Amino acid sequence: GDSVTQMEGPVTLSEEAFLTINCTYTATGYPSLFWYVQYPGEGLQLLLKATKADDKGSNKGFEATYRKETTSFHLEKGSVQVSDSAVYFCALASGTYKYIFGTGTRLKVLA
């Protein structure tokens, strides 16, 4: 079945460092891919998405490119801030209405 694998956390970075959180997937066909962010005590919020191969999703300085050849959707940001500290989830749309989530990667940014 479809699945999502993301890197184990926590990831600890200094402010203004470069961020990469790896995400790879297994799926039949070409699913839409997503990154969600969860701030402490809150629900998940959609951060960005890509619906087809080579699409780049972007939002709030975060980017991820849908790579069909490597079945990956890695999240990147050029310069992280303390306010980016959160848990990040990679997900894919498995069929029309069911989504598969990774286990989440906690990011901690130090001032």
- At its nearest, how many Å lie between other proteins and the CB of residue 65? 17
Query: Toward other proteins, which CB reaches closer, 11 or 17?
Result: 11
Q: How far apart are CA 27 and CA 49, in angstroms?
A: 16
Q: How far apart are the first and last CA of the chain?
A: 41
69 is an interface residue for other proteins by CB under 8 A: no
Among the residue ranges 21-29, 30-38, 58-66, 77-85, the one whose residues contact other proteins (CB under 8 A): 30-38
Applying CB under 8 A, does 46 fall inside the site for other proteins?
yes
Q: Is 32 in the site for other proteins (CB under 8 A)?
A: yes
CB of 66 to other proteins, least distance (A): 13
Rounded CA-CA distance 9/100 in Å is 19
Q: Cα(95)–Cα(27) distance, rounded to whole angstroms? A: 10
CB atoms within 10 A of CB 20: 11
**Nearest-CA neighbor of 48 among 18, 85, 13, 75?**
75
Query: Which one among 28, 69, 70, 98 touches other proteins, defined by CB under 8 A?
Result: 98
Chain contacts with other proteins (rule: CB under 8 A): 31-32, 34, 36, 42-46, 49, 51, 89, 93, 96-99, 101-104
